[in-house]
Amino acid sequence: MIPPIASNFVAGETPEASLAHVEGLNDRGVAGILNLLGEHYEERPPADADADAYVDLVEAIAERDVDACVSVKSSQIGLDVGDRVFEENLARIVEAANAPTATDGDDGSDGDESGTFVWIDMEDHETTDVTLDAFERHAVETDGNVGVCVQANLKRTRDDLERLADLPGKVRLVKGAYDEPAELSYKKKARVDESYRDCLAYMFEAFDGGVAVGSHDPAMIEYATELYADHGTPYEVQMLTGVRESAQFELAADPDTDAEVYQYIPYGSKWFSYFYRRIRERKSNALFALRAIVGN
């Protein structure tokens, strides 16, 4: 059972709990990105099992008719076992996400496409090429029903965006949380922020749509608003469960904001390591946890 303090950052241990969380968000104008916790499997069985769980999840999203999509990590579905395992499991998830619904229309039609969107998360720099290759392949095959994450702290990302600009699908820009080698990444916060702004400006200018602003930084969200006013490129803002949630709801309710708002929602039995990372990476999260423990 997830203790109350951790439940602020994790939706629950089961798919049912995560879907119930999404329904609550949808009532307030926020969509969900569901992520089953798990990563870096070195054997195939757990990777296959999590891929199976994602197949079940995309079917449940379609049946429940909630405003939600899924996000998977490459190492979770087999990349550490081998590229082929990752590619096979990702293909199964994407295929399920694009399968026709089970219900047929009364007029004899075959039913609608379920169209559950699939995000491919980005991990450390060693996974970048295989992840981008997989995204490109599935973006073309599904006519844009997949997305990929790129990280502004990597020096290569601005060039990667030029490769991605003409593809269908979506691209999520984040600042990056991995401790990458200095020769490959920017280390100073100010330089990462500069890179984020540069990449974001390019995306609004060069992309037809599908720009996802993955940030809790009010300055970056405001900058995206300015870029939208200049270019009119459709975009969305994505934030984590338990981090600046009031800002998420305010943004979704703002009649002057045309951005869609998504909450990234982790769930599953492997919640402890994720919760621990959230507490370590932000002092505000640690203070929040401390107040919960002492009851203030």
Q: What is the pLDDT of residues 52-111, one digit of tens each?
A: 999 999 999 999 999 999 999 999 999 999 999 999 999 999 999 998 765 444 444 444
Q: What is the mean pLDDT of residues 148-168?
A: 98
* pLDDT of residue 285 exceeding 60: no
Give me the residue label for tokens 């995000």: 119
* pLDDT of residue 292 exceeding 90: no
The type of residue at 209 is G
Asked if residue 104 lies in contact with residue 159, where contact means CB atoms within 8 angstroms, the answer is no
Q: Return the CATH number of the domain spanning residue range 4-101+112-294.
A: 3.20.20.220
Task: For residues 251 and 237, give the distance between their C-alpha atoms in angstroms, rounded to a whole number.
Answer: 9
pLDDT at 105: 45
Of residues 171 and 104, more confidence is placed in: 171
**Helix, strand, or coil here: 12?**
coil
pLDDT at 113: 52
pLDDT at 270: 81
Of residues 282 and 80, more confidence is placed in: 80
Query: What value does the mean pLDDT of the chain take?
Result: 89
* pLDDT of residue 279 exceeding 50: yes
The domain locations on the chain are 4-101+112-294
Kindly indicate the confidence band of residue 2, based on its pLDDT and cuts at 50, 70 and 90.
Answer: confident
Single pTM value for the model = 0.89
pLDDT at 110: 47
| Across 11-20, 109-118, 247-256, least confident range | 109-118
Q: How many Cβ atoms are within 10 Å of 147's Cβ, its own excluded?
A: 23
Q: What is the mean pLDDT of residues 220-226?
A: 97
* pLDDT of residue 22 exceeding 50: yes
Kindly indicate the confidence band of residue 8, based on its pLDDT and cuts at 50, 70 and 90.
Answer: confident
Kindly indicate the confidence band of residue 154, based on its pLDDT and cuts at 50, 70 and 90.
Answer: very high
pLDDT at 7: 76
Q: What is the mean pLDDT of residues 213-231?
A: 97
Buried b (16+ CB within 10 A) or exposed e, 90-125: bebbbebbbbebeeeeeeeeeeeebebbbbbbbbbb
